[in-house]
Amino acid sequence: MTRTAICLLAGSMAGGLTGCGAGAAGTDAKEPFTPQIVGTYEAEDARFIGNVHAASSRSGYSGTGYATGFDSESDGVAFSISVEETGFYDLVFSSAASDYKENRVFVDGVGYGEVITAEKDFAESTVTRVYLENGEHEVSVMGYWCYIDLDKVTVQTAEPLSEDAFAVSAKLADPLATDSAKRLMSYLADSYGQVVLSGQYCDTGSLGKEFQAVKKVNGNLTPAVLGLDFIEYSPSRVENGSTSRATDFAKSFWENGGIVTFCWHWNAPSKYLTGAWYSGFYKEHTNIDLDKIMNGEDPEGYDLLMQDIDAIAQQLLILQEADVPIIWRPLHEASGGWFWWGDCSAESYKKLYITLFEKLTGEYGIHNLIWLWNGQSAAWYPGDAYVDMIGWDIYPGEHEYGSQIGTFIKASKCSTDRKIITLSENGCVPDPELLKRDGAMWSFWCTWGGEFVKGTSNFASYSDQYTEGEKLAEFYANPLVITQDELPDLKTYPIREDAK
């Protein structure tokens, strides 16, 4: 039996989950779950790191005060906590700040997520589903965005996860989707929760430096998913001499049995470029106002955006003609605000996303796409009618191999339907055994290129900076991980009834 067989996860999983597909975000419990508090720990009594110290001038704290002085990434608080039973727990932090802040949470030195602080008064932020064995543990909060006051952490039992939450529909948002897109989606739905597909971004295709660097340390195994970017097809880059072979690389990888995902670092139209033309996807290098464009105040800007979409549509039509299905991830990471398509209201972003969907599927008749939304905040979700998969991009630091279960759960809650959740970009590769244990079976990971895998030499030396070579080889060899040679023949893969 190959690693693509269904129910690879059958049997017991940590935390009492059993059966095929057990352990995903969401819950179908018939009775409301009431968490049991197992301990509350005051920050002013914890161990201070760096500049952190106790204070009591801000009102609303519990205990005798709170911890303040998070001025840099070397400043933090370390709590010593204890649990009597092995299992999953939520860590509920109380913090306050003058404006929105994110700061990192570590459990026994492993990154587990962030404390989100968005209120001037003390308010709660939860890091969900942390696996703790019985005994003592260290929970630390370290500066990232810094500048918070931390009051306490409460440890409570985590809500059990649904037994059937990996049971997703293969139906695509585009009712006219091609058979090749339906076959790929059927495979993704069938394998979801059972295995995780390996993936790698490489702008020069499967023979490029990133792929070769990865293969040098993983036993010559080829990632199942190739990540590419339509960036160089953006008209404002073409005007400055950019060229690309991304479409050719996609066709070749599909013909050789792989899966292709595309993002688009959309370089703004030349009219709106204010800095280096090659950085025209960042907001600080443009003066584009998407709110005005989408509410009709800048009709010329709207026309220019439509012309840019026309250029990318031509490449997608080439891929459709070659019958290459694409996992399509446009307008990514919008809620972060660093790209121009996120430097606006969520409503304007959603209007642009829906316009893109309708223009490509309606005007151009492009139906070979699986729409992967990656806005990174539920407030920016355009709606189930326009989304097939939900992705999240996570860069937790160096040598951080955790499952990112908290983010997995957060991603799953963006939709009212049950969608496939994927790690659409990552720095460190997650440990597949932790994915299984925690119930965070991302559909695939797709490691970003450059420094995240490649050394500084002119060819394909591997860099241990983020994922150590030994770890990468271990992860790729794990039976839970699918490589290109283990994919089924996706050109003949059965189309599920719910996808027809």
The torsion angles phi and psi of 100, rounded to 5 degrees, stand at -60, 135
Check if 468 is active-site: no
CA 105 to each of CA 24, 198, 397, 479: distance values in angstroms, whole numbers, following the listed order: 22, 26, 12, 30
Q: What is the DSSP string of 174-228?
A: STT--HHHHHHHHHHHHHBTTBEE-EEE-TTGGGSHHHHHHHHHTTSPPBSEEEE
Q: Hey, which bits of 243-336 come out as E strands?
A: 259-263, 326-329
The CA distance from 167 to 164, in Å, is 5
What the block records as the tokens of 60 is 């609303």
- Out of 42, 210, 400, 425, which one is annotated catalytic? 425
| 212, 218 Cβ separation under 8 angstroms | no
Catalytic residue among 42, 159, 163, 333: 333
Which residues have a Cβ under 8 Å from the Cβ of 178 and sit 6 or more positions away? Answer: 320, 323, 325, 367, 368
Neighbours of 245 (CB within 10 A): 14
In contact, 373 and 333? CB cutoff 8 Å: no
Report how far residue 267's alpha carbon sits from residue 274's, in angstroms, rounded to the nearest whole number: 12
Active site residue 333: yes
CA distance 234 to 241: 11
CA distance 480 to 431: 10
| 418 and 26 Cβ atoms separated by less than 8 Å | yes
Q: How far apart are CA 380 and CA 57, in angstroms?
A: 36
What single string gives the DSSP state of each residue in 356-410? HHHIIIIIS----EEEEE--SSGGG---GGG-SEEEEEE---SS-----HHHHHH
CA nearest to 410, candidates 388, 398, 427, 393: 393
| Whether 67 contacts 150, CB under 8 Å | yes
- Which DSSP helix (H) or strand (E) runs through 435? helix 432-438
* Residue of 219, 250, 255 whose CA lies nearest to 233: 250
Q: Looking at the annotation, which residues are catalytic?
A: 333, 425
